[in-house]
Structure 1
């Protein structure tokens, strides 16, 4: 469903005075982590601190930018290989591997949810130990590589537990831009969310039907990529969402700035209605 939405106030100055040359987007990855609840499928959403330079006050999924170590370090791994992920995201295998690593790493840093296990048949059932929780800020600060964290704990990244879902690029006029690939994953049995990320001032599991109603009512703020992902994922269950991703095709979406009757709009995609 392609729509035109008024340019938000926070972006109006940038939209009215775009830079002569667009900023280069930074590669990033995010995971829609879901579970089944009493009101249907739920996702873990975090509200970004109002002081954040990008998407302040917005509800987002766990995620962030790639680090050099995500691409350069050899990460213990089972599941679809880098070539397959490159095919899914239409990018080079090395970048694709880094995107998967960044998605899993950032999700662990920000939530304590870890999509890894001792081998390809098992998964960590509890990440609440003091040692594992202490690794989260160390990873976030770049003091530890995710490859070293996994090796030290005798774990392998479970690339078979995530699915490729969407690809969005920040509009050209924004000063901070990201080239973001969206993944989906189900909360592993036995795992619980740990302490809240320092980048967030609120976080919780929320039924997607309820959060979409809150967005429509103006009670919660989300960027178009998050809205689109919530709408599309809401058609599935936690048990089927990764399998649904395996058969999914999606375009690269770059919202466009348009002028209609002297008013600025973003022409963008908001998910299947």
Structure 2
């Protein structure tokens, strides 16, 4: 099974307590990772690719986006558009600018289209056209790249991005796929995981560890500009546990050590 392209976007803000990131809690009824805290994100769909060709974008074209992601044959712009769209659907935060190049505030009429976009009744590209908006891709940083290992029924080729949160918008979980949201320092999120207060998937933990090294949004963006993440290994590695052969998934503490043997 070929992994499906997907994008995830960590929205960041600076506070007196330090750098904070927006996280959403998945519904406890979810089949996949119920109750886990995640960044907004999801699969790249055909509408994202159509919007990527529409011209209602600011800061990237497909050549520059593909170069950012290390894709030699194009297609990178769809990942960036998907990150913005999924963030809008799941958190109500939209990275877009008006005709004057200004950030949108939470009272802009396009915000009323969030639920229609999420349900598939409206297209984000159509909303951009009708309101004279451009999705703001210029401030999106590329942080990490994970591919689901072979075996699970669903596999994703996921690019993890980060961006400063729109300053005059307020996030809100959707109450269906996500049941809570929180602004949290990455260090506190990692401590919550150690103490068993919150659950995070391994790729999310990897990004939180990266973010925890920085004191401000600008530091994160500067770091990301100088690097190109490589896809995390997708192949579980065999190891012995007594007389039994077990497979260590990428991201587990022992993975790097058993790969050396």
The 5-angstrom pairing of residues 26-37 of structure 1 reads: 26-37=4-15
Aligned partners of 2:24 and 2:173 also within 8 Å: no
Unmatched runs of 5 consecutive residues or more in structure 1? 1-22
For 1:18, the equivalent position in structure 2 comes to none
Aligned to 1:15: none
User: Which of 223, 239, 242 is matched with 1:244 structurally?
Assistant: 223
User: What is the rounded CA distance, in whole Å, between the counterparts of 1:93 and 1:128 in structure 2?
Assistant: 39
Q: Does 1:99 align with 2:72?
A: no
Residue 215 (structure 1) shift: 1.1
- Of 101, 106, 112, the match for 2:92: 112
Q: Is the 8 A contact 2:8 2:40 kept in 1?
A: yes
Aligned length: 246
Checking the alignment, whether the CA contact within 8 Å between 2:172 and 2:181 is kept in structure 1 is no
**Separation (CA, whole Å) in 1 of partners of 2:249 and 2:34:** 19
**Residue 266 (str. 1) matches residue 252 (str. 2):** no
C-alpha separation between the residues in 1 aligned to 2:67 and 2:7?
Answer: 16
1:64 matches 2:47: no
The superposition leaves residues 5-39 of structure 1 with CA deviations (integer Å, 9 ceiling, x where unpaired) of xxxxxxxxxxxxxxxxxx32111111011112343
Distance 1:197 1:31 in 2: 19
Find out whether 1:89 has 2:89 as its counterpart: no
TM-score, normalised relative to structure 2: 0.86
Map of 1:205 onto structure 2: 183
Q: TM-score scaled by structure 1? A: 0.83
Structure 1: distance between partners of 2:117 and 2:202: 29
Q: What is the DSSP-based 3-state SS (H/G/I as helix, E as strand, rest coil) of the residue aligned with 1:36? A: strand
Pick from 140, 145, 148: which aligns with 2:126? 148
Match of 2:159 among 162, 176, 181: 181
Deviates more, 1:149-158 or 1:261-270: 261-270
Q: Which runs of 5+ in 2 are unaligned?
A: 254-261
Is residue 197 of structure 2 the alignment partner of residue 219 of structure 1? yes
Tell me the distance in 1 between the aligned counterparts of 2:48 and 2:31.
23
Structure 1 segments (4+ residues) deviating >4 Å: none
Task: Give the aligned partner of residue 80 of structure 1.
Answer: 60
User: Deviation of residue 94 (structure 1)?
Assistant: 4.7
Corresponding position of 2:257: none
- CA contact under 8 A between 1:110 and 1:197: conserved in structure 2? no
Kept after mapping to 1: 8 A contact 2:40/2:87 = yes
User: How big is each residue's C-alpha offset from its partner over 1:192-229, in whole Å with a ceiling of 9 and x where there is no partner?
Assistant: 11353521122111111111111122222111110010
Counterpart contact for 1:49–1:199, Cα < 8 Å: yes
SS of equivalent residue, structure 1 residue 239: helix
What aligned pairs does 1:22-61 form with structure 2 within 5 A after superposition?
23-61=1-39
1:240 and 1:152, CA in 2 relative to 1: closer, same or farther beyond 3 A?
A: farther
Cα contact 1:24–1:177 (8 A) shared by 2:
yes
